[in-house]
Each structure stands twice: as C-alpha cells, then as structure tokens.
Structure 1
C-alpha cells in the first residue's frame, strides 16, 4: 500500500512538528520550576528604613541564581509593601499564598505585621520563616509549628542590658522609652525579668510612643525630667534617630542603651549626628561593616564585593544590609538541605534541622541552631559602645538566663 502525501496532510504534519518543537523549546527554556518565596516589607511608612533588607535579600538570591540556583532551581522572592500596617500585611500575605502560591514566607518584617498573619499562615500550613523581628512569640513550635524567629530575642536583649546595669551600675535610675506594641513590650519584659523584686525600683520612669506619632521629643523631655541617669531606648530607626538627637540637644547625658534594631550607623546614628551618638551602648550579634577590625576580614571583603556587584545603591554603612545578607544565607542553607523535596512540610522540617550553621558575618562564637522544639536560631549577642565613628565590642558573648 502506498501512502500519498497530500498538501493538506503535509501541512498538518508540519503543524504538529512545529507545535512539538515549540513545547520542547518552552520546557527547555523553563528548566526546573522556581522556588517561590513571599515577603512583606515596609517599603513605605514609619519603618521604611528597613526596606533595604528586602532589597539586599533579593540581590543575594540573584547571586545564588546566577551561580546555578539550588540544585538547578532558581529562587523567586516576591517582596511586597505592607507599609508596616497589620491590615495591609494580612491582605498582602493572603495574595502571596492564595494567588501567587508561594511555598513559604521568608523574613516578613515587623512584630505588628507578623502578629497579624501568624495564625493565618499556621492554619494554612505555610512556613513563616525567620521573621525579621525578635519577639519571643515566634519561638512557640508547640502552638505555631510553622513559624520561626531570626533576630536575637528581644527579651534576651533586654536581659543583657539589665544584667550589665546590675553588675556595673547597681544604683542606676532607669528611664525606659518603648514602642507601644509586642516588640517594645518584649524588650521591656526582658529588662523587668532581671530587675524584679526590690531591684524593680531602679526603673523610675517609662514612656511609650505609637508608630503613628510624628516625634518622640515630648517623651524624651518627660523622661529627662524624671531625674534618670540611664535610658533604655527601645525604638525603630526613625524614632531612634529622633531620640538620640533629642537626648543630646536637651543637654541630658544618661548612660544610653539603644536596642539593636535601631542601632545602624547608616540609617540611625548618621542622621542623628555621629557626635551626638558617642557612648551609646547596644547589643550586636553580627559584624558591623563600619568597624575597622573587620576591614580585611575575608567574609566582610566578600560581602563588600557582593554589594558592589549586586546592590550598588545599598548603603554599606547600614547594618541592615549585613543582617539581610545573613538571613538570606540561612534561607539558602534550608533550601539546600531540602534536596529535591521542596514541599512545605520538608521546608519546615529542614528549618528545624539547622545545626551549628555559621554564616561568617556572625560575630565569633555565635552559631545558628534550631530543632523541633526550638525555633529561635540566634541566641547570643555581645555588648558594644559607639566611639563616634563605629561600634566597639566589649565584654563576652552573652545569652539569656531566663526562660523563653
């Protein structure tokens, strides 16, 4: 039997062949599917100084993708603005999970925003990984198994300040300024855990502020009028810069503790005035790019080369750009541990399996660890004093003495 190729049959075969070639080419172009992560970040609003964290993390994932990704998979971080507004964070998180179908949320920023999406993400069994806040509530795997903290616990930070005062200034008259939400109250709780009983009388004045307040000038003047000789300043960058400036300009010279999340040289101390920031004390757990002792440190040189290539507009004196880089490295470590199983369950399992992981920009002696009963990777920090140019570490690496 002879088959005759009619023009119509030839055209059909050609069309089928073209379609198959097109599909094959598309599949080859696509390669392995992306690892899709979601993130809410305050690109606007009162905490917008932190927006650089989302940008540096996107830049780091681009670097990883350029190097071949994670076992051939590229990381796609969808980072969206929530304006540091809890209702907006809920709206954006729902969109990321239900429309964009992200595998996990990575480093959503802010205690108020994360509190608003906490129950939702756990109900949906979506990993809420390494949130950019130090509230103690993120380390509650029994009730919220899909949520993981990242920052040094705010309560641990508060404990470290209070223990330093008990040892070095036991007769201190302490004033405290704090943000009126879970973040501020968590650092305060750490301070009061140590300064309890008869030591509680060391705290002689407290003032709060709302994130919607234009300034904290009046609170600073009220605290100064209390006669306090020590100030524990629990503020985010915008208000931290205001507080440092107002304390100095008012002629008040207390021993001034400035919490870690508001202690960036680039985004806080420079706007406040470096001369007005001398002798501030904070807690650090990663290297400060402005500290000359790390000038020739291999990890810092590598970070600077990364910034020059992937995030040129980023400020190398802004501590948030070191912070975000380390957090992104931890996320990459979790994804590497996943092998080829990028299910949400396995991502959670691997996030619980971090063992002595040490991104080289952490301070010496600090490592990251998690387990099924411990969702707080950072547990230690070291005190540091500002000398007018950079933070200078002193003392030893410290951790919490109380419970979680």
Structure 2
C-alpha cells in the first residue's frame, strides 16, 4: 500500500460479466448485475464493469436528492453492544457532514436495520436496501457469513458494499467481486503480525490457539499455523470453544496444560474477559495474545483487571479510552463530534470510533466520486473506493491507499500493543507494516 499521484478521471469499463442471482431485488430486474469484470483504464486506475448493471448505477444523483446509506448491524444478539456503538459513530460523523452542507448539496440519510449477527436476517435487510429503501451505498456489514450471503444482492443491484468488517481474506478481490471492499486487515495479515511478534519474543517457541466456532476463528485458524511454521514456531493442537458456550475454562486449562510459550485467542471479543481471567487463575506466565477485535481496552480488557496485564494485541486504530491519545487532536475532535451528536455515552467504545472512522472513509469516497467523469453515481463511488488516497488521523498509521487488484487492502499496518493495568491502555511494543504484501501473505497462509 503505497501513495501514488492519482488522476481521478475515471471512466466506466464495459466488459461482459456473468450474472449472480439474488432475491427481492426490484432495482435490478432484467439485469445480471455486477459480479466481476472491471478493468484498469489508461490512467492506471481500476474501474468497475457496469455493462450488466441497472441504469441507475451510472445515473448521477439528482440535484438535492439525499444520499441514502444503508447499514445492517447486530443491534441484538451476541454483538449488540458493538453494533449499537458502530451506529453511534456513523450518526456522529454523518451529522457533522450534514451540518457542513452535506456533499455537493446532498444531505446524508442513514437507514439502520438489525440483523442480530444472523446471515438470514442480513439477507432480508439487504433485499430491502436494494429494493424499497433504494440506498445509494451499504456501509460496514459485519461478519464473514453475513457479507457472503448479502454480497450477491449488492452485486446484482450494483450497490457499493463499502468497508465491510470481516477477517475473511476473500473480500478484497475487485477482479471477482468488484462491489465489495473490506475495511480491516484480513486474518492472514493480522496473524502475520501476531506470529512475527511471538517469533521475535520466543524464537522457535510453541503456540497454542483457543478458537471460537465462528468465521473469525476459522479465518485465523486457517492462516496462523502455516505462518507460524514458516516463522519457526511449533503450533500445538487447537482448543475449540463449542458454539454458544459462555464458559471457556476447559479450553484455557487444556491450552495451559501443554505449557506453550504463547497462547492466542482466536474468537469474538466477548470471550476476552473469560480468556484473560482463566489464564490468570491458572498461573500462566507465557505470552498472551488477543486478536484485534478486542483492541478497545476499556471495553474488553479492563473489566478483567488485573488479569489482562501484559496481554498483547495488534492495533491499527487509536483506542478512545487509551490515555496515550488523551491529547491527540483527532481523538479530541472525535469525542467533540460524538458529544455534539448526543452520542457521548457511546464514545468510549472502540466500535463507536470504528463506525465514525468508516463513515469518514465513505464520505471521502462520495466526495471523490463527485469529481469523476459522470459525477456522483454508485459506480463512481465504487471506483473511488478502489482508487483511494487519504489520511485518517484516527488510525495508528494514517495513510490509507488502495489501487484496485494491485493493492486492494486499505489497512495493512499498525503496532503491537501490550495492556497496562496502571494506565488502562496500551503500550507500544513494536510496529507491523505489510503495505503492498497482503496478497503474498494470504497466499502464504
């Protein structure tokens, strides 16, 4: 991921592509939609194929018409706190943009639906978004199963599925799925950061995995062992948390019994407190590593104090409760915007900062689309996302760049943070930067 000068005179590509079936899509009747086939134009930018899209995908939004943004979030179920916080962050930034006049005279309208972290409900929501809700973009769908299930619907309608939240490695592939782009590092990239850190601390050491029974765990469990072997580490038999289980003491005990040098949690963040307290009770004194879904210290680690002392996590964005960032201008602006929007209670949650930060990226895509040939169209929003060059100061490494198939990953760098009970935040214990290397890492994992 490197910054390059960009001519934004993008044009629509015109290659024939295969259709993808979808149900309930009133917007794209009679069309096979966009499921792959974009190309690089003369200026070197990737442009989506619109040859099989409905006409409105390339029709400029009418003057003064609102930009409707659909988001399907887990407002109930196991990730309800995270989903609600995401929406709070979306709301705060959207209100700020609207107060400043919107985008080229267009106000933003957020349409929120609950999917309870369930793929079937996410599909129902997506059908409504491309149908009667007529959204211009979809923002930050959470979860590999949910994104997989809804992706054909957005492709059929040629509606951008922007900045999805998944560790799946398959959701940054513009040559196959040009209408979906991922907003966080895929699991192999994050696993590489974890493996490199462990190998540096305990060369030729042993690693135990405690895995969930979900897509996140599968993504990490597929990637980490091969990367660890390549780094000279030995991976012990993984301990799997049964689906629906709320107690992981048995898995913790089994992992500790193997006396590994490091134990890695590959599960959703709601398991982090039990993981940390279980290891503390067992007297484990090796390396303790969380995945980045638990990177909000106050939300997922502090509740287990003092058990989380020294636990390490790959970080790629700032933590709003971390004292390190108390005087940081970007964090202060975020907190002020959350308060102005009446969302100050949610501002402490890392997911709220995530939602705000994804909205920042989406708004930049919309503004860039305005400047492209053809103006503010759904196709141009997607073109802008695949050819992005911006700074997000709430990120550990602010530079966010994409360049189509050559480098479709917006986030490929950050730092390793170790939790401090004294500060209630993270202390940097190293950096990781795989800019431009993600595709190779995914192949390696």
Task: Please state which band the TM-score falls in when normalised by the shorter chain.
Answer: 0.7 to 0.9
Aligned to 2:378: 344
Q: CA deviation at 1:247?
A: 1.9
Aligned pair 1:290/2:321, yes or no?
Answer: yes
- Aligned twin of 1:260: 292
Q: What is the Cα deviation at residue 309 of structure 1? A: 1.6
Check if 1:391 corresponds to 2:413. Answer: no
Determine the structure 1 residue equivalent to 2:275.
243
Matched, 1:48 2:80: yes
Larger-Rg structure: 1
How far, CA to CA, are the matches of 2:231 and 2:441 in structure 1?
A: 21
Residue deviations 1:207-240 (CA, integer Å, cap 9, x gap): 2235522332322222222222311112222112
Distance in 1, Cα, partners of 2:267 & 2:213: 10
1:236–1:261 CA contact under 8 A, matched in 2? yes
Which structure has the highest helix share of the two?
1
Q: Which runs of 5+ in 1 are unaligned?
A: 1-29
Please point out which of 225, 230, 235 is paired with 2:257.
225
Alignment of 1:52-131 (within 5 A): 52-131=85-164
Q: CA deviation at 1:299?
A: 1.2
Shift of 1:31: 7.6
8 Å contact from structure 2 (residues 297, 419) kept in 1 = no
| Gap runs ≥5 in structure 2 | 1-61
Q: How does 1:185-204 map to 2 (within 5 A)?
A: 185-196=218-229, 199=232, 202-204=234-236
Alpha-carbon distance, 1:64 to partner: 1.1
Does the CA-based 8 Å contact 1:112-1:181 persist in structure 2? no
Shift, 1:349, TM fit: 1.0
Q: Which structure exhibits the higher relative contact order, with contacts defined as CA atoms closer than 8 Å and separated by 6 or more residues?
A: 2
From 406, 411, 414, the counterpart of 1:378: 411
Q: Aligned-residue CA RMSD in angstroms?
A: 2.1
Matched, 1:270 2:305: no
Q: State the TM-score, normalizing by the size of structure 2.
A: 0.78
CA distance in 2, matches of 1:49, 1:103: 26
Whether contact under 8 Å (1:235, 1:262) holds in the other structure is no
Instruction: State the distance in 2 between where 1:366 and 1:128 align.
Output: 22
Distance 1:182 1:38, change over 3 A: same
1:40 positional shift: 0.9
| Secondary structure in 2 matching 1:296 | coil
Match of 1:181 in 2: 214
In the alignment, structure 1 residue 319 sits paired with structure 2 residue 357: no
Distance in 1 between residues matched to 2:294 and 2:242, nearest whole Å: 16
Write out the 4+ residue segments of structure 1 that deviate beyond 6 Å after TM superposition.
none
Cα shift readout 1:54-80 (whole Å, capped 9, x = no counterpart): 221122111211221111111112121
What is the number of equivalent residue pairs in this alignment? Answer: 371
